[in-house]
Amino acid sequence: MLLLIVNQLYQLKDYAEALQEMESVVAMHPDKLVHLSQLARLYLQMGNISSAAHVLQRTEKRLAFMRSQAQDIAPADEQRHNLDR
C-alpha cells in the first residue's frame, strides 16, 4: 500500500513526501533491492547526492551478498543432482 502512495506522490512531484514514505518502506523491508534503488532515485530527485550514493553503496553490498549466497547454493544443488542419477 505504501508503494502505491509513494508512486502517486512521485507522479504529483511531491518528492519530499514520497521520500518520507519510501524511507518507511525501506525501514520495513531493508533488503529489497528495488526499494533501495527507488529510495536512491528519490534522493537524487531531491538533489541529495551523498544520501543517494550511500543507498546505492548499500544496494551494491546487498547484491554482492546475494550473489555469494547463490554461488554457495549452486554447487550443493549440482551435487544433489549428480546423486540422483
Domains in the chain: ranges and CATH: 2-83 (1.25.40.10)
DSSP for residue 84: T
- Residues 13-22: pLDDT tens digits? 999 999 999 9
Q: What is the mean pLDDT of residues 46-59?
A: 96
Distance, in Å, from the CA atom of 5 to the CA atom of 75, rounded to the nearest integer, reads: 42
The pTM (predicted TM-score) of the whole model is 0.77
> In terms of residues, how long is the chain?
85
Whether 83 has a pLDDT exceeding 60, the answer reads: no
